[in-house]
Chains A and B, each alone.
Chain A
Amino acid sequence: MSSLISLQNIKRHYEVGDEIVRALDGVDLTINHNEYISIMGPSGSGKSTLMNMIGCLDTPSSGKYEFEGELVHDMDDNQLASIRNRKIGFVFQTFNLLPKATALHNVEVPLIYSNIPKNQRIDKASKSLTEVGLHDRMYHRPNELSGGQRQRVAIARALVNDPSIILADEPTGNLDSKSGAEIMNILDSLYSRGNTIILVTHEEYIANHAHRIINIFDGKIKDDKIVKKK
């Protein structure tokens, strides 16, 4: 089975004043299709940097990053924008919806950036919203939706371009436990339908939804273990 993502000896250094911060200090990681992974680690461990790296929001200082055969480590801003658009679906802790746009339009936005004609956009976006159970909330704006519903809009947006991975950064962090459980159910069912999901969290019980848990500490992978069989 060919790997979906392959990171080889990835380093990411920042200069802060005179000091060099080694946010990632030689990470090797391979992720295959239809995996359900949790990335855990205390704050400052390099967890967020790794997530930004996998999400193609950041490029490594050194090392090799291959995403479905494309070499991410030497991409420019336009290529990075394009790969994010086509292959990655982001779900953020704070939802990050456009506040003044309807749910439908929010889900439509990634399709706008990939130049898909209007009628197809509406089609795909409404299908995606139906998938997360929001077919009756399409024309609501974020402030007319509950937190759980907002996060479901965000998931619909992440799904709409049929991405290769869904990258969820603390997706339940701003939700009550009931809404959080709903969201985790949706992610679980997306996984069981064949999607690849990468979850970044520091909550043990959230991380335990995943089948593989990776622990980061001081910019390195401390341990990487399969916790469940499919």
Chain B
Amino acid sequence: MFFESLRISLSSIYMNKLRSSLTALGIIIGVLSVTVMGTLISGLDRSFENSMSWLGKDILYISRWEWFSDMEWWEVRNRPRMKLSYEEKIREMSDYALAVSPVIQREASLSFSDKNTQTVIFGTNVEYMETVKEDIQFGRFFTQGEERSAARVTIIGSGIKDAFFEYQDPIGKYIKIDGIKFRVIGVLEKQGKFLGLFSVDYQAILPLGAYTRLFSKRGFMRLSVKVNEKKIDDAKSELQSVMRRIRGLKPGEKDDFAINQTKAFETQYNTLKFAIGGTGLFITILSLIVGGIGIMNIMFVSVKERTREIGVRKAIGATPNMILVQFLFEAIIICVIGGLIGLALAFGASFFINKIFPSTLPLWLSIVSIIMSILVGVISGIVPSYQAARLDPIEALRYE
């Protein structure tokens, strides 16, 4: 009986291919939107997690600029620059700082034999490696002696290593940074793209001494301060007062510096995630309602059109329930087929999304979207099916 109802419903859908597929469109769009949004969010989540772990949750970043702020640019521009001397003062005054690493950066051109590239160079101190999550893959970091003596050594990102050396061993080779020779002593691990946006694998790290002597003491500068992750809030307020003392700010004066932490990213990210998720959910619900109404409408038409058939079926022995099941199945099958098509399209779309940043269609979401389709089928099919089941066979047989 079950399979017969299924068969009857399937053949009826097949007979009305165009009508059925137009009806299924609402469900297709609904399922497509919910699964694509889900894929996007899962991908975002994953790349966000990766990027955040690269930044480190136990690091406070002191600089002129807030990462996310609604301050006017000129206000920030008028703030005094960070100075290298702050490093020592923070070490002296802060109890929470476990490691302090000033980082100055600028653009520079790197070259090795006939190859060259434009990239970012960092000048920093020995404690730098404690304030980042990346590791040295080959070779070593520079020593305190090399930092102080402004030794011309550099640690390069894996991207530069691949571009310049391919399969050669880069350790001990000399590259030119803005025309000045530096010896490669280490290579950083491959990091991938930050938030899927830009690669951090093209960088060169120099000892602060060499950087300030050969390039500049100015430029964009930040101080990375490693603290205990559990006490990060206390540490932040302590650092704030330390910085205020360094800057000599009077009570009531606004901070003229910023202390950033990864939490700022998280807050920003969650806002974005809710925006995407909310929009997706809205589109989904809307298209499922529209799709459901469409199916209900088609089912009413179908019942009307097949009134005589229902009469015949009843005359030769179909019970009201059998008729109900037949029509309900029809609605459910249209919805499930729509759902499967939507899922297939979403699967295709997830490949494209995957090209932009790594993501997959979560399995649970696929299952949920199919259950959702069945539910829409039941809800939109139940009233027309009930109407069909209640038809009086005599009236139905007489229907023209």
Contact = CB atoms under 8 A, between A and B. Distances in A.
Contacts of B196: none
Contacts of B319: 77-78, 81-82, 113
Contact of A110 (B317, B320, B393): B317
A157 interface: yes
A112 B1 contact: yes
A126 to B, nearest CB: 18
A141 B302 CA distance: 21
B315 A90 contact: yes
Contact of B316 (A78, A85, A100, A115): A85
Contacts of A101: 11
A93 B1 CA distance: 29
A96 B397 contact: yes
A35 B320 CA distance: 32
Interface stretch (B173-181, B219-227, B286-294, B306-314): B306-314
A101 B322 CA distance: 18
B320 A113 contact: no
Nearest to B3: A118
Contacts of B322: 81, 113
Interface residues of B, number: 21
A100 B320 contact: no
B397 A157 contact: no
Given A81-B319, A82-B319, 8 more contacts: A57-B315, A81-B317, A81-B320, A81-B322, A82-B317, A92-B312, A100-B15, A157-B316
Interface in B312-363: 312-322
Nearest to A113: B317
A10 to B, nearest CB: 16
A96 B317 contact: no
Contacts of B301: none
Interface in B58-81: none
B316 A113 contact: yes
A115 B319 CA distance: 12
A86 B315 contact: no
Nearest to B306: A98
Interface in A112-126: 112-115
A137 to B, nearest CB: 20
Interface in B1-15: 1, 4, 11, 15
Interface of A: 52, 55, 57-58, 77-78, 81-82, 84-86, 90, 92, 96-98, 100-101, 109-110, 112-115, 157, 161
A57 B393 contact: yes
28 contacts: A52-B394, A57-B393, A57-B397, A77-B319, A78-B321, A81-B318, A81-B322, A84-B315, A84-B316, A84-B317, A90-B316, A92-B312, A96-B311, A96-B312, A96-B397, A98-B312, A100-B11, A100-B15, A101-B11, A109-B313, A110-B317, A112-B4, A113-B316, A113-B317, A113-B318, A113-B322, A115-B1, A161-B317
A84 B320 CA distance: 13
A78 B315 contact: no
B268 to A, nearest CB: 59
A113 B316 CA distance: 8
Interface in B349-400: 393-394, 397
Nearest to A51: B394
Contacts of A57: 315, 393-394, 397
- Most chain A CB within a 10 A radius of its CB, from B1, B11, B308, B316: B316
Contacts of A86: 317
A165 to B, nearest CB: 13
A115 B314 CA distance: 15
A57 B322 CA distance: 17
A97 to B, nearest CB: 8
Contacts of A157: 316
Contacts of A81: 314, 317-320, 322
A113 B11 CA distance: 17
- Most chain B CB within a 10 A radius of its CB, from A55, A110, A113, A114: A113
Contacts of B318: 81, 113
Contacts of A90: 315-316
Given A96-B308, A100-B11, A58 B394 contact: yes
Contacts of B317: 81-82, 84-86, 110, 113-114, 161
Contacts of B321: 78
Contacts of A110: 316-317
- Most chain A CB within a 10 A radius of its CB, from B1, B317, B397: B317
Contacts of A97: 312
Contacts of B1: 112, 115
A86 B316 CA distance: 9
A22 to B, nearest CB: 17
A61 B313 CA distance: 25
Contacts of B316: 84-85, 90, 109-110, 113, 157
A125 to B, nearest CB: 13
B395 to A, nearest CB: 10
